[in-house]
Amino acid sequence: MQAPTIGGVSVPRGQGQVIRLSRGASLSDFAEKIGVNPASLVQVLFHLGEMVTATQSVNDETLQLLGAELNYNVQVVSPEEEDRELLEAFDIEFGEDVGDESDLEPRPPVVTVMGHVDHGKTKLLDAIRHTNVQAHEAGGITQHIGAYQVVATVDGQDRAITFIDTPGHEAFTAMRARGAETTDLVILVVAADDGVKPQTTEALNHAQAAGVPVVVAVNKIDKEGADPARVRAQLTEYGLVAEELGGTTQFVDVSAKTGAGIPELLEAVILTADAELDLRANPNQPAQGVAIEAHLDRGRGPVATVLVQRGTLHVGDSIVCGEAYGRVRAMLDEDGAPVAEAPPSRPVQVLGLTAVPDAGDSFLVVDDDRKARQIAERREARERTAQFAQRRPRVTLEDLESALKSGARRELLLIIKGDVSGSVEALEDSLLKIDVGEDVALRVIGRGVGAITQDDVNLAIASDAVIIGFNVRPAGRAAELAQREGVDIRYYSVIYQAIEEIEAALKGMLKPEFEEVQLGTAEIRQVFRVPRVGNVAGCIVRSGTITRHSKARLIRDGVVVADSLSIESLRRVKDDVTEVREGYECGIGLGYADIKVGDTVETFEMREKPRA
Ligand code: GDP
């Protein structure tokens, strides 16, 4: 039996079978699943108007398009789904507390400290650790493990607070970009003698994008020139209004140097958490959480600081953390003291893993070592195959319309960077005035002055936002990261142009613009009549290259006599070839009868035009 052909390529069709492919899979992966040669899929896709290589990662729509053409039901699976399915195969559910409401118990808030450089984040984290009201017993060696817990007294009650001991929003966004939501609350540090600075607002953007409540620590009040009232006034512009000014945000004046105000700051954290968050977890289940940081210790092997998010972690538990696994040999707290068990929100150093996990990797306890190893091994295998195809499709202005239609998105998130603050504000104001009805909203989750940084790109990754660069360009490795992760960056130098495009995108009118690129021309010198095929043109290639399957038109005396043709067959002497270069003779089948000696065959392709 002969396999049916598509565009001259014979590929066996399916019978509607379900084919599951990882997000970002390549044509090779597809070919492997259906047992065909990857090159044939490249050709089929080419015939459908898309040019990709066999190993290149392609987007969901392309995989589906190919599936439809070949009569397979393609299901694209995201990495998160894949991992969930992997764990399900082991009867494990990650990320949900076991049981019902009655199984949940209050847990301490997990706090990250963010703010502008030199405003005192590091010093504040140190100060908090040392003014711990319930001082740890002496003996332990204070060490940096990436997170620690302190106890504050609020209304006569001892309340624990967990601090992520990696100041700055880089760590915060990097974790979020990996899907690890570790932080419950952010302390925004602002130096009272310096006021709100670019990174202050950047940090605030991150916190707000994550929907995390903010407590403001107005630091360095011991310094001459400190003006805490000015900080309060400045932050009102960003939607943070102090309680004493009628708002809901807690502002606390502190000095990381003298220790003044630290107890009040801790109290404000607890009060804000109590008022705005419902922090509960089931402590009586196998532990799950996330790795905060990890390193290889020469004497002790891989050491990972993990944050328990639900359940209780015990010495002796079998755990998997990313692609690492093992049995918990020992657990240490931030003072180097041994810990027997770690309940929710408790950070501990774990010894006993086989490898060093990545920050942001999830960890979970399983029944036995064998299971732990199997899960880790499968993840590792998957990671290896996925390495070529890491790119995740993200929101671009062009695909916004289909995302909106499919109901996947009702909001366009933007990050605006500009050369001067005036232009950023003006642009944001005008963009927010665009009205395209109630179905679609536009939200600016980040704004700032200066080049587009890696941090902006990370925020875009974490939130699926589009970046607008107004008279600015990416700095350092930001462009590379954006490209790798598929983040859409738009550059403008005229405000109305930005407004027009965004408005068009929101209305679903923004189509990619294509321009025609000529590939080659060939002159017809002879016409052959071939039985069952029709007229074939004996040509000489006059310029460029003639490629099989490319789009073509026929020109006679400078006038186009037939358009929307294609190079259906291409031969050199007796052999089928894929391309013929300038100066060579070839036989071209256009599937078009009216060809004459002296006509010119012109081939071209449509390339997406980069927008100005
Ligand atoms: P980070 O970049 O935000 O982590 O800032 P650091 O914690 O490194 O602090 C920057 C500088 O400000 C250091 O020289 C600190 O000693 C100083 N500093 C931090 N907090 C205070 C404070 O409350 N009062 C005074 N006088 N100096 C402070």
**Model pTM above 0.85:** no
What is the Å distance from ligand 1's center to 269 Cα? 21
Q: What is the arithmetic mean of pLDDT over 406-425?
A: 77
What is the C-alpha separation between 255 and 222, in angstroms, rounded?
6
What is the Å distance from ligand 1's center to 561 Cα? 76
What integer pLDDT is reported at residue 612 of this predicted model?
40
Does residue 598 carry a pLDDT above 90? yes
User: For a substitution probing ligand 1, which of 112, 113, 122, 123 has the most ligand atoms within 8 Å of its CB?
Assistant: 123
Q: Are residues 151 and 233 in the same domain?
A: yes
Q: Ranked by mean pLDDT, which of 410-414, 508-512, 547-551 comes out on top?
A: 547-551
What is the Å distance from ligand 1's center to 218 Cα? 12
What integer pLDDT is reported at residue 107 of this predicted model?
97
Q: Are residues 112 and 246 in the same domain?
A: yes
pLDDT in tens, 332-342: 998 889 999 99
Determine the atom of ligand 1 nearest the C-alpha atom of 167: 4
Does residue 321 carry a pLDDT above 90? yes
- The 3-class SS string of 103-138 reads HCEECCCEEEEEECCCCCHHHHHHHHHHCCCCCCCC
pLDDT in tens, 4-28: 566 566 777 888 888 888 877 888 8
Nearest residue (by CA) to ligand 1, atom 19, is 120
Q: What is the arithmetic mean of pLDDT over 181-202?
A: 92
Q: Are residues 604 and 519 in the same domain?
A: yes
Q: What is the arithmetic mean of pLDDT over 441-451?
A: 84
CA–CA distances in Å: residue 611 to residues 105, 508, 582: 54, 17, 32
What integer pLDDT is reported at residue 112 of this predicted model?
93
Residues 334, 338, 339: CA angle, nearest 5 degrees: 85
CATH number at 140 reads 3.40.50.300
Q: Is residue 97 part of a domain?
A: no
Q: Are residues 484 and 458 in the same domain?
A: yes
What is the C-alpha separation between 45 and 65, in angstroms, rounded?
9
- Dmax over CA atoms of the chain, in Å, equals 100
Nearest residue (by CA) to ligand 1, atom 25, is 220
Nearest residue (by CA) to ligand 1, atom 10, is 118
Residue with the larger pLDDT of the pair 311 and 528: 311
What is the Å distance from ligand 1's center to 130 Cα? 16
Q: What is the arithmetic mean of pLDDT over 367-385?
A: 85
Q: Does residue 113's CB lie within 6 angstroms of at least one atom of ligand 1?
A: no
Does residue 515 carry a pLDDT above 90? no
Which residues, other chains included, contact 91 with Cβ-Cβ below 8 Å and sequence gap of 6+?
none
Strand partners, 504: none
What is the Å distance from ligand 1's center to 267 Cα? 22
Q: What is the arithmetic mean of pLDDT over 566-579?
A: 90
What is the Å distance from ligand 1's center to 462 Cα? 30
Q: Is residue 112 part of a domain?
A: yes
Does residue 392 carry a pLDDT above 50? no
What integer pLDDT is reported at residue 464 of this predicted model?
82
Dihedrals phi, psi of 45, to nearest 5 degrees: -65, -40
What integer pLDDT is reported at residue 142 of this predicted model?
62
Q: Are residues 72 and 221 in the same domain?
A: no
Q: Are residues 490 and 551 in the same domain?
A: no
Does residue 218 carry a pLDDT above 50? yes
Q: Is residue 227 part of a domain?
A: yes
Q: Are residues 143 and 62 in the same domain?
A: no
Nearest residue (by CA) to ligand 1, atom 17, is 120
What is the Å distance from ligand 1's center to 459 Cα? 26
Q: Is residue 57 part of a domain?
A: yes
What is the Å distance from ligand 1's center to 119 Cα? 6
Question: Which range among 99-113, 241-255, 391-405 shows the weakest confidence by mean pLDDT?
Answer: 391-405
What is the count of structural domains for the chain?
Answer: 5
Nearest residue (by CA) to ligand 1, atom 18, is 120
Cβ burial of 463 (10 Å; 0-12, 13-18, 19+) is buried
DSSP-derived letter for residue 611 is: P
- The 3-class SS string of 513-539 reads CEEEEEEEEEEEEEEEEECCCEEEEEE
Q: Does residue 206's CB lie within 6 angstroms of at least one atom of ligand 1?
A: no
What integer pLDDT is reported at residue 183 of this predicted model?
92
Q: Is residue 292 part of a domain?
A: yes
Q: Decide if 499 contacts 506 (C-beta within 8 A).
A: no
Does residue 393 carry a pLDDT above 60? no
**Whose CA is closest to 442, among 468, 469, 464, 414?**
414
Q: Decide if 500 contacts 491 (C-beta within 8 A).
A: no
Q: Are residues 503 and 536 in the same domain?
A: no
What integer pLDDT is reported at residue 485 of this predicted model?
82
pLDDT in tens, 265-291: 999 999 999 999 999 999 999 999 999
What is the Å distance from ligand 1's center to 266 Cα? 19
User: For a substitution probing ligand 1, which of 112, 114, 118, 129 has the most ligand atoms within 8 Å of its CB?
Assistant: 118
**Whose CA is closest to 194, among 215, 169, 168, 220?**
220
Indicate the residue among 77, 97, 118 that finishes a domain: 77
Nearest residue (by CA) to ligand 1, atom 11, is 118
Does residue 493 carry a pLDDT above 70? yes
CATH number at 372 reads 2.40.30.10
Q: Does residue 337's CB lie within 6 angstroms of at least one atom of ligand 1?
A: no
Q: Are residues 380 and 408 in the same domain?
A: no
What integer pLDDT is reported at residue 121 of this predicted model?
93
Q: Does residue 123's CB lie within 6 angstroms of at least one atom of ligand 1?
A: yes
What is the Å distance from ligand 1's center to 120 Cα? 4
Q: Are residues 14 and 116 in the same domain?
A: no
What integer pLDDT is reported at residue 76 of this predicted model?
87
Six token digits for residue 443: 């939200």
Per-chain mean pLDDT for the chain: 85
CATH number at 481 reads 3.40.50.10050
Nearest residue (by CA) to ligand 1, atom 6, is 120
Q: Is residue 47 part of a domain?
A: yes
402 pLDDT band, cuts 50/70/90, is low
Q: What is the arithmetic mean of pLDDT over 50-54?
A: 78
pLDDT in tens, 76-125: 887 778 888 888 888 888 888 888 999 999 999 999 999 998 999 999 99
Indicate the residue among 509, 542, 577 that finishes a domain: 509
Residues 405, 411, 414: CA angle, nearest 5 degrees: 130
Question: Which range among 68-72, 364-368, 403-407, 554-558 shows the weakest confidence by mean pLDDT?
Answer: 403-407
What is the Å distance from ligand 1's center to 256 Cα? 7
255 pLDDT band, cuts 50/70/90, is very high
Q: Does residue 256's CB lie within 6 angstroms of at least one atom of ligand 1?
A: yes
What integer pLDDT is reported at residue 406 of this predicted model?
57
Q: Does residue 243's CB lie within 6 angstroms of at least one atom of ligand 1?
A: no
384 pLDDT band, cuts 50/70/90, is low
Does residue 56 carry a pLDDT above 50? yes
pLDDT in tens, 160-185: 999 998 766 666 777 776 666 889 99
605 pLDDT band, cuts 50/70/90, is confident
Look up tokens 């817990």; give the residue.
149
Does residue 2 carry a pLDDT above 60? no
What integer pLDDT is reported at residue 50 of this predicted model?
78
**Whose CA is closest to 114, among 206, 177, 184?**
206
Q: Does residue 122's CB lie within 6 angstroms of at least one atom of ligand 1?
A: yes
What integer pLDDT is reported at residue 410 of this predicted model?
67
DSSP-derived letter for residue 310 is: E
What integer pLDDT is reported at residue 473 of this predicted model?
83
Q: Is residue 198 part of a domain?
A: yes
Does residue 1 carry a pLDDT above 50? no
DSSP-derived letter for residue 26 is: B
Does residue 609 carry a pLDDT above 70? no
What is the C-alpha separation between 45 and 43, in angstroms, rounded?
5
Q: Does residue 27's CB lie within 6 angstroms of at least one atom of ligand 1?
A: no
Q: Does residue 200's CB lie within 6 angstroms of at least one atom of ligand 1?
A: no
Which three-class secondary structure state does DSSP give residue 265?
Answer: helix
Give the structural domain span for 352.
Answer: 288-385
Q: Does residue 118's CB lie within 6 angstroms of at least one atom of ligand 1?
A: yes
Q: Are residues 498 and 518 in the same domain?
A: no
Does residue 447 carry a pLDDT above 80? yes
407 pLDDT band, cuts 50/70/90, is low
What integer pLDDT is reported at residue 395 of this predicted model?
63
Indicate the residue among 253, 278, 303 that finishes a domain: 278
Q: What is the arithmetic mean of pLDDT over 237-257?
A: 94
Q: Does residue 255's CB lie within 6 angstroms of at least one atom of ligand 1?
A: yes
Q: Is residue 92 part of a domain?
A: no
Q: Does residue 220's CB lie within 6 angstroms of at least one atom of ligand 1?
A: yes
Q: Are residues 271 and 133 in the same domain?
A: yes
What integer pLDDT is reported at residue 154 of this predicted model?
92
Nearest residue (by CA) to ligand 1, atom 9, is 120
